[in-house]
Amino acid sequence: MTSLTFFGGVKEIGGNKILLEDRKTRIFLDFGQSFSLLDDYFVPESYLSPRDRFGLRDYFEFGLIPKLNGLYSDEAIEHTDLKASEPGFDGVFISHAHFDHVAHLEYLHPGIPIYMGETAKKILDSNAETTSNRYFAEGAEIRQFRSGQEISVGDLKVTPIHVDHSVPGAYGFLVETSEGVVAYTGDLRQHGPRGDMTREFVQRAKEAEPEALIIEGTRVFDVEKRKNYSEESVKEESKKVIHESDRLVLAMRYPKDLDRFRTFHDIAKESGRKLVTSMKTAHLLQSLKDDPLGLSDPFKDKHIEVYCRKMKTYKKWEKPMMDDCVDSGYIHDNQKELIFELDFWQLTELVDVRPSGGECIHSMSEPFEEDPMSQVSDDVLENWLEHFGMRRHQLHASGHASKSEIFEIVKEIDAKKVFPVHTMNPGMFGVACRNTEVTEKGRKCEI
Ligand SMILES: [Zn+2]
């Protein structure tokens, strides 16, 4: 008896929470929060949010998180009608360190081991130190793995295989069950700098002749309106922008996208500019300095400077960096020699920097039609750039494989059943792929 129950990632982007049960063993694949989870009942931007102090109480009220015995910590269920109990699950396997795959880990029963890649753990630890985010319950047991390592959990054998995605340390899984292999892609792409890793996963999955394939479909929609850039083409196009400019260049990217950091770092080296990055990124780079990723130490690399915002007080993690940082005056005085990485929420720094025009390489997704807030933010960005006389260049490579690539992967792996997740359009898989099962949230599917 082997089954899959999808508690998240169903007709939505992210929030994957996939329960795999085989005989007496029960594991979850990912434990995240979808980007739209709170949309029906909360507006966090207007401060209407679930009450942290009551753990999962507000989540249960609206069925936003599965109500299962033995899954959550005493603290998470203290203000709910679930009773405290022994852990009822054998493990939670995390594909990568993005919010939509890890956000609800903090509520888990500390007696349930969490398995994740070594790099993913370092990324989450750095993020927890530099933000108010919390990822693990008190006393949680984290077991770290590497690609290809076989992990026995009860009746199951789980093998993580690295894949390429827009954050380092991303994995898919092959799970050996009593009914055959279940393959899970996590999030993946082939057009990034390590497309070879994704190919390796697909190859291994194919060889395993899986009974079931659980596959992401972020970019499976009717019409692809966005440009299909690879990391390499982002680099080439950004290089052109920078070579033609004799003014300040702003670079905006997702904070955990270190491939994009490397792209900008490479361009800085080649163009003789310096890359100015945030303290948060500096902290992340330092946390990963012993990692095989081979990223630079921001304080030793002569092409990197770290930017310090003017604050009344500084956090403990910021203090050791402060002596080695540059400020807005430095950016103003050296505009032509810099690529300045700036997060959206730190645009106010431009008031101090006072750039004399320049370029902004927006290396992130364009606003989503389904998400009005992203349009609002985008309009605000436009206004800021116009105010400072800066030109915008949209140059971004997605973290996800395109629709045609996803369907090719499905064909190649050729599993007996295909379960689309992490997609708004699971129904579209059925047209292109045989044996697609469109799931409902919380419904158990036998394999
Ligand atoms: Zn995701």
Domain map of the chain by residue range? 2-222+399-446, 231-394
DSSP state of 365: P
Q: Which two tokens stand for residue 380?
A: 């605000």
Residue given tokens 């057009």 in the structure block: 191
Give the distance between the most distant pair of CA atoms in the chain: 68
Of 224, 234, 282, 217, nearest to 418 (Cα)?
A: 217
CB 304 within 8 Å of CB 265: yes
Ligand 1 centroid–CA 101 distance in Å is 6
How far apart are the CA of 80 and the centre of ligand 1, in A?
29
Which residues have CB atoms below 5 A from the ion given as ligand 1? 14, 100, 187
pLDDT of residue 223: 81
Dihedrals phi, psi of 325, to nearest 5 degrees: -105, 165
Closest CA to 252 of 225, 234, 232: 234
How far out from the chain centre does Cα 269 lie? 27
d(CA 423, CA 412): 20
Q: How far is the CA of 224 from the centre of ligand 1 (A)?
A: 19
| 422 C-alpha to ligand 1 centroid (Å) | 7
Token code pair at residue 227: 């440009």
Angle between helices 279-287 and 258-271 (to 10 degrees): 110
Instruction: List the pLDDT tens digit at each of the 447 positions of the chain.
Output: 899 999 999 999 999 999 999 999 999 999 999 988 998 999 888 899 999 999 999 999 999 999 999 999 999 999 999 999 999 999 999 999 999 999 999 999 999 999 999 999 999 999 999 999 999 999 999 999 999 999 999 999 999 999 999 999 999 999 999 999 999 999 999 999 999 999 999 999 999 999 999 999 999 988 877 778 999 999 999 999 999 999 999 999 999 999 999 999 999 999 999 999 999 999 999 999 888 888 999 999 999 999 999 999 999 999 999 999 999 999 999 999 999 999 999 999 999 999 999 999 999 998 877 677 788 889 999 999 999 999 999 999 999 999 999 999 999 999 999 999 999 999 999 887 889 999 999 999 999
CA distance 90 to 153: 7
Look at the block and give the residue holding tokens 């982002």: 234
**What pLDDT was estimated at residue 226?**
77
- Up-side HSE of residue 438: CA atoms within 13 Å toward CB? 12
Q: How many CB atoms lie within 10 A of CB 310?
A: 9
Distance 406 CA to ligand 1 centre (A): 15
Q: Please tell me the distance from the alpha carbon of residue 431 to that of residue 422, in angstroms, as a whole number.
A: 18
Q: What is the DSSP letter of 276?
A: E
CA distance 40 to 26: 30
Q: State the pTM of this model.
A: 0.95
Q: Which two tokens stand for residue 264?
A: 């900008």
Residue 148: how many other CB atoms lie within 10 Å: 11
Distance 100 CA to ligand 1 centre (A): 5
Do 2-222+399-446 and 231-394 come out as alike in CATH topology?
A: no
Tell me the C-alpha to C-alpha distance, in Å, between residue 139 and each of 73, 77, 112, 114, 136.
10, 16, 10, 11, 8
pLDDT at 36: 86
- From ligand 1's centre to the CA of 81, what distance in Å? 31
| From the candidate CATH numbers 1.20.1260.10, 3.60.15.10, 3.30.360.10, 3.60.21.70, the one assigned to the domain spanning 2-222+399-446 | 3.60.15.10
- Which of 3.30.70.330, 3.40.30.10, 3.40.50.10710, 1.10.540.10 would CATH assign to domain 231-394? 3.40.50.10710
- Measured at the CA of 123, the angle between CA 419 and CA 160, to 5 degrees, comes to 40
Compute CA distances 439 → 4, 31, 187, 238, 408, whole Å: 10, 18, 18, 41, 21
Q: How close is the Cα of 230 to the center of ligand 1, in Å?
A: 18
